[in-house]
Structure 1
Amino acid sequence: MITIKEIAERANVSRTTVSRVLNKSGYVSEEARKRVQKVIEETGYVPSEHAKSLRTKKTNVIGVVLPKISTETSNRLVKGMDEIFAKEGYQILLANTNLEPEKEIEYLRLLKSRHVDGIILSATTINPSLVEEIYNLNIPFVAVGQSISGLTNVILDDYQATKDMVDFLIQKGHKQIAFIGVDERDRAVGYLRKAGYLDAMRENNLAVESTWVQKGEFNVESGFECMSQILGTSEKQPTAVLAVTDRLAIGALQRIKESGLSIPEDISLAGMGASEFSRYVTPALTTIDFSIEKAGREAAALILRKIGGENDHGMNITIPYRLIERASVQ
């Protein structure tokens, strides 16, 4: 394997000149640059990433911790990040917690030991142990989806988006609106979206039946079961149902159909997340588009600025959303 010293000898330049050409830094005359590049092309020299990282103290790798790597949301988030990182020569090292909060700390420590240049975390929940671990990282860090005090966060407006969806249903004439949520330890999707629903109902002086509010998990089957509870235990039937994810809404849709009811004639249905399949179910699902790819791009841009030495002293970047009206609501 050819070395920088050998390239320098063949090109009749110093090793410093070769390093400057390889790293694209420092002054090199055009004539010398061409001689070095010619030798590199003739020999097929590929610089060692390990050696380069030792010299520059950078690996050009960003660690990204995700709650569930197989979901469409995670895929869209990473897609947005990669659009930015690829242009700047960075690679992504993914870690999947599979919705197990204890793995978040484990992966943060592992990524730090791998000397990544920065870490982006999409957390399942926020707890004191996790926050302490993040503060002890001492490397560039950005959180996505959850807000951590004093740090840089890219967040979705879960609360207001949910209120807007409930207000939309009310404007359509619905007063009996059920809700399918998730565990409130997930502050963004669990707590804030439920709070948006309850506040919208309260502000419009609408009653909430206890059996209309169900808690599920992040899957279609759970939406089916929650809808069964709403239909089977309520004294009166809601005219509309809001689920905090499209997956939950799809499960609810199937249960409503199996009960012999029609959507939207008997029950209107709305989800959140604008998943790809939300437009292909029958009827197509009314939902909220949170611009997940944009959140990924914003997080990537922020972490690169931090790596470059910019100190934002912690801030929240809120990504805009839009309500998509489709045939599942009348």
Structure 2
Amino acid sequence: MKNIADIAKLAGVAKSTVSRYLNGGSVSEVTKRKIEDIITETGYMPNAFAQSLKAKKTNIIGIIVPQLDSYETSQTLIGIDQQLRALNYLMLVSHTNRNLEREIENIYTLAKQKVAGIILLATQITDRHVQAISEIDIPVLLVGQHHDEIHSLVHHDEEAGYAMGKYIIEQGHRRLAFLGVSETDIAVGVKRKEGFKRATRDVNNCEVRYFETKANMREVAANALDIFNDFFPSALICATDEIAIGAVKAAYTKGMHVPANLSVTGFGGYEITAMMHPALTTVQFYFIEAGKKAADHIVQLVNGQDIPMLTYSNFEIIARESVDKRFAPS
């Protein structure tokens, strides 16, 4: 594989001339044809990443992600990458390992690296996030969380929580537990719970209790059902599929059967939930489609086009084997 120096030597021109040609700068027609011939003969492929960094306006979109070992993150990144490639943009991923300090630092770092825009897959938005985003001179799109002052693309978490609550009530369950996460995560910890509360608030003879856990299936599996020593529900609504998987594991560890003793639901629609036994009833979010929409939106912002400040992605209830139908009390 040849590099720019090799192409320059074969064409008998300076390395800077080849670089100028590759970046669309002014080069004489004779020199241009000479360089083109050499590139054709050698099969040289310019490094698009380096080429973009040298240009005044890059075609690189920075993506800040809190974790890489997440189905939601990986699927969203697939969608972003597919659409950015279709639009002739590149993706530069920065992983923060759920460290908010690193997340804020990466906003500034990516801006210094002259990315055209930033997509932030956020778990929470603090005042320091807002300050950093206001101080850099490039477009930023939030995915997964909403802020009034920043363009945001979110799952319709509250409506999804409401839909799941209505579904569980329709199946006849009246003794319910909602197992959520910290309210620092507004989308998952607040919105899904608020939607569920709204669906169950005015239902007769319905008892609901709310609990909190870490969004980690291993921790849930280790202690999820311990919190139900004084209150055992007929249905456990989990704020994520990960929590639901851990809860099913915990139930079987204690000799219980899903759904005979306990119905369980999740949110996410992870592929593995269809392969479980029993298969998990869940809210299906369309992460790849959301990623594609995020890519479209950030490119539109980069090009000075108007988009809505808040956009929702689609969802649907996937009814499977982990929920049974109960006789509803009158």
- Fold equivalence (TM over 0.5): yes
Q: TM-score, normalised by structure 1?
A: 0.86
Cα deviation for residue 69 of structure 1 reads 1.3
Secondary structure of the structure 2 residue equivalent to 1:203: coil
8 Å CA contact 1:242, 1:271 repeated in 2: yes
* Separation (CA, whole Å) in 2 of partners of 1:254 and 1:51: 48
State yes or no: 1:217 paired with 2:211: no
State the partner residue of 1:261: 256
8 Å CA contact 1:180, 1:223 repeated in 2: no
State yes or no: 1:231 paired with 2:228: yes
State the partner residue of 2:235: 240
Equivalence map 1:147-186=2 (5 Å)? 147-186=146-185
Equivalence map 1:1-330=2 (5 Å)? 1-2=5-6, 7=11, 22=22, 37-47=36-46, 52-53=51-52, 56-205=55-204, 207-209=206-208, 212-225=209-222, 227-234=224-231, 237-312=232-307, 315-330=309-324
Q: Which amino acid aligns with 1:81?
A: I
Cα deviation for residue 54 of structure 1 reads 6.5
- Structure 1 gap segments, 5+ residues each: 10-14
CA deviations 1:109-141 (Å, max 9, x no partner) are: 111121111100011211111111111121021
* Separation (CA, whole Å) in 1 of partners of 2:31 and 2:97: 52
* Separation (CA, whole Å) in 2 of partners of 1:157 and 1:206: 28
* Separation (CA, whole Å) in 2 of partners of 1:204 and 1:151: 37
* Separation (CA, whole Å) in 1 of partners of 2:53 and 2:222: 54
Cα deviation for residue 232 of structure 1 reads 1.7
* Separation (CA, whole Å) in 1 of partners of 2:274 and 2:40: 50
Give structure 1 regions of 4+ aligned residues with deviation exceeding 6 angstroms: 31-35
* Separation (CA, whole Å) in 2 of partners of 1:51 and 1:72: 30
Are residues 53 and 79 of structure 1, via their aligned partners in 2, closer, same or farther at CA, if it must alter by over 3 Å?
closer
Cα deviation for residue 58 of structure 1 reads 2.6
Are residues 221 and 2 of structure 1, via their aligned partners in 2, closer, same or farther at CA, if it must alter by over 3 Å?
closer
* Separation (CA, whole Å) in 2 of partners of 1:129 and 1:205: 44
CA deviations 1:271-317 (Å, max 9, x no partner) are: 110112111111000001110111110111111112222243x5111
Cα deviation for residue 55 of structure 1 reads 6.1
Q: TM-score, normalised by structure 2?
A: 0.86
8 Å CA contact 1:261, 1:267 repeated in 2: yes
Cα deviation for residue 60 of structure 1 reads 2.2
Count of equivalent residues: 317
State the partner residue of 1:12: none
More divergent stretch after superposition (53-62 vs 63-72): 53-62
CA deviations 1:168-198 (Å, max 9, x no partner) are: 0110000111111000010000111111122
Q: Which amino acid aligns with 1:219?
A: N
Are residues 81 and 51 of structure 1, via their aligned partners in 2, closer, same or farther at CA, if it must alter by over 3 Å?
closer
RMSD: 2.9
Cα deviation for residue 87 of structure 1 reads 2.1
* Separation (CA, whole Å) in 2 of partners of 1:54 and 1:267: 55
* Separation (CA, whole Å) in 1 of partners of 2:120 and 2:69: 16
CA deviations 1:131-166 (Å, max 9, x no partner) are: 111111210211101011122111100011011011
* Separation (CA, whole Å) in 2 of partners of 1:252 and 1:50: 44
Cα deviation for residue 223 of structure 1 reads 2.3
Q: Which amino acid aligns with 1:319?
A: S
* Separation (CA, whole Å) in 1 of partners of 2:49 and 2:101: 31
* Separation (CA, whole Å) in 2 of partners of 1:228 and 1:44: 62
* Separation (CA, whole Å) in 2 of partners of 1:25 and 1:324: 54
8 Å CA contact 1:64, 1:94 repeated in 2: yes
8 Å CA contact 2:11, 2:34 repeated in 1: no
Are residues 173 and 49 of structure 1, via their aligned partners in 2, closer, same or farther at CA, if it must alter by over 3 Å?
closer
